[in-house]
């Protein structure tokens, strides 16, 4: 079975409570359940992790080499600031999909740029938590080819 590492960055542990008008009422547990169900439907394993710490996310990405076939990442605010996460993703050999619950291009101008997008095979933004489902489906398609 191919494996997907699902990473969520800072403040995503507060989904359901944090700005529900922007991020909705689904919790991170709801997101993980959705992504896991979709992955299983394609015969894929999925492991989900969340951290508010940039270095921990970098370490997990480094450890994913040879352990996972793909990474789906919602780097949260680190999208716009973290060259370290970009550098770690550039070491990873499999596909990377970037997910944002809100449409970052309709928000403050500083959110319009993502370092992670420079590495990602695809970016899904503004689809709410359904974006995670779409990302798993896209990864499944890439891995099948």
C-alpha to C-alpha distance for 138 and 145, rounded to whole angstroms: 11
> Beta partners for 7?
49, 73
13 annotated to bind ligand: no
> Which residue in 78, 100, 115, 132 is the catalytic one?
100
100 is catalytic: yes
**Using one digit for the tens of pLDDT, what is the confidence trace for 4-18?**
999 999 999 998 888
Options 3.30.1490.20, 3.10.450.50, 3.10.180.10, 3.40.50.9100; CATH of 3-144: 3.40.50.9100
Two structure tokens written together for 61: 């990405």
113 annotated to bind ligand: no
Local mean pLDDT, 10-residue blocks, the chain (145 residues): 91 88 86 98 97 98 97 95 97 97 73 86 95 98 94
105 is catalytic: no
C-alpha to C-alpha distance for 134 and 145, rounded to whole angstroms: 17
């Amino acid at each position: 079975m191919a494996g997907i590492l699902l990473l969520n960055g800072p403040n995503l542990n507060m989904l359901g409570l944090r700005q529900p008008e922007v991020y909705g009422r689904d919790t991170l547990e709801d997101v993980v359940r959705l992504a896991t169900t979709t992955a299983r439907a394609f015969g894929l394993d999925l492991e989900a992790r969340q951290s508010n710490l940039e270095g921990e996310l970098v370490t997990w990405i480094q450890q994913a080499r040879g352990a996972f076939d793909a990474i789906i990442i919602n780097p949260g605010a680190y999208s716009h600031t973290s060259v370290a996460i970009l550098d770690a993703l550039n070491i990873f050999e499999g596909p990377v999909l970037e997910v944002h619950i809100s449409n970052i291009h309709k928000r403050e101008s500083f959110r319009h740029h993502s370092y992670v997008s420079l590495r990602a095979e695809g970016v899904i933004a503004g689809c709410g938590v359904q974006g995670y489902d779409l990302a798993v489906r896209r990864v499944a398609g890439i891995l099948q080819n």
